[in-house]
């Protein structure tokens, strides 16, 4: 007779990730409840990834660029949160601010894995907004570079054991301000020209609102050591769910009503479809050249 498993026994199953991968001793570290939260975030991201992977097959051919962008970001997010929920992807860093009793508060478990996710998810949003607004590839590349400066500055600052960390915080925050300024200003101009102002304003406003909260979260967690490791990861988990899962599906659902030809992002098996002729006053530099392609040899004579 096979043994039976009661529902109570199933519910009593505990999270043993911290037993398999022990946290650092004598330091602020992730708790079991914190690991439970990170597993929940992992589940949300994995389910969003799988759902989008299935949904992409129903999208029209040549109109899957937003699907591919967010599929890539969700894949990285799922892996990163799996690692952090398993208590992996961290280092121990001595703190200089808010050290508490001088024992546990002076050393902090620093999860560097989340910065890998930000290096991917921030550019995914930048490229998606850039394609929607029709800004130049140079502008998109510049904004991606600014996001990397922002993330890398915060990453380096989180490992600095003196107050010089705030110098890196200043560099990173300035890069974020420059990024947000260009993203909102340049994107709104292009979106108005393409007739997608409402959708672009909603998506861009949402993304920039979430970006605003990342410097605050870093300042009180990895930077200022004001809140504990678990509390900081709860904050980051909420932000990343909103930034990845919610933003991804907002793009996917809204994209069903966009004209990909007008956005100049319609793709075929031969490449991208050429953009329809348009009026670009900023490109007019003078009179048109002669139709024959030959230069005039006689000056024009004015007549009364």
For residues 64, 65, 66, 69, the Cα torsion angle rounded to the nearest 10 degrees is 120
Contact 87, 37 (CB under 8 A): no
> How far is residue 155's CA from residue 142's CA, in Å, rounded to a whole number?
20
What values do phi and psi take at 230, rounded to 5?
-65, -45
Measured CA distances, 241 to 7, 31, 97, 152, 237 (Å): 30, 20, 29, 21, 6
What pLDDT was estimated at residue 3? Answer: 53
The distance of Cα 302 from the centroid of its chain, to the nearest Å, equals 62
- Give the whole-angstrom CA distance, residue 76 versus residue 72: 6
Buried b (16+ CB within 10 A) or exposed e, 79-93: bbbbbbbbbebbeeb
List beta partners, residue 94.
107
- Go through the domains of the chain in sequence order and give each one's CATH number: 31-263 (1.20.1070.10)
Which residues fall within 8 angstroms of residue 267, CB to CB, at 6 or more apart? Answer: 62, 63, 65, 273
Position 269 scores a pLDDT of: 43
pLDDT of residue 222: 96
β-partners of residue 268 are: 271
Per-residue pLDDT of the chain (304 residues; tens, 9 = 90+): 445 555 444 444 589 999 999 999 989 999 999 999 999 999 999 999 999 999 999 888 778 999 999 999 999 999 999 999 999 999 999 999 988 755 557 899 999 999 999 999 999 999 999 999 999 999 999 999 999 999 999 999 999 999 999 999 999 999 999 999 999 999 999 999 999 999 999 999 999 999 999 999 999 999 999 999 999 999 999 999 999 999 999 999 999 999 888 898 876 544 445 555 544 444 444 444 444 444 444 444 444 3
Q: How far apart are CA 27 and CA 107, in angstroms?
A: 5
């Amino acid at each position: 007779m096979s043994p039976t498993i009661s529902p109570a026994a199933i519910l009593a199953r505990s999270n043993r990730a911290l037993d398999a991968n022990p946290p650092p001793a004598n330091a602020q570290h992730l708790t079991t409840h914190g690991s439970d939260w990170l597993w929940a975030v992992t589940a949300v991201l994995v389910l969003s990834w799988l759902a989008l992977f299935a949904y992409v097959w129903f999208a029209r051919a040549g109109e899957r660029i937003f699907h591919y962008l967010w599929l890539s970001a969700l894949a990285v997010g799922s892996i990163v949160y799996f690692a952090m929920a398993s208590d992996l992807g961290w280092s121990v860093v001595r703190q200089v601010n808010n050290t508490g009793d001088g024992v546990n508060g002076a050393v902090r478990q620093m999860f560097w894995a989340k910065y890998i996710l930000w290096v991917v998810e921030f550019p995914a949003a930048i490229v998606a907004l850039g394609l929607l607004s029709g800004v130049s590839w140079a502008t998109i590349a510049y904004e991606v570079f600014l996001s990397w400066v922002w993330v890398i500055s915060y990453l380096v600052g989180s490992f600095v054991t003196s107050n010089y960390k705030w110098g890196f915080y200043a560099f990173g925050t300035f890069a974020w301000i420059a990024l947000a300024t260009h993203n909102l200003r340049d994107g709104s101009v292009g979106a108005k020209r393409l007739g997608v102002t409402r959708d672009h304003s909603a998506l861009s406003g949402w993304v920039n609102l979430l970006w605003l909260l990342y410097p605050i979260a870093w300042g009180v967690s990895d930077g200022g050591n004001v809140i504990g490791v678990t509390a900081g990861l709860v904050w980051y988990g909420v932000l990343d769910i909103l930034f990845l899962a919610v933003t991804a599906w907002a793009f996917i659902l809204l994209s069903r009503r966009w004209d990909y030809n007008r956005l100049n992002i319609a793709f075929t098996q031969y490449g991208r479809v050429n953009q329809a002729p348009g009026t670009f006053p900023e490109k007019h530099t003078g009179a048109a050249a002669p139709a024959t392609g030959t230069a005039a040899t006689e000056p024009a004579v004015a007549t009364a």
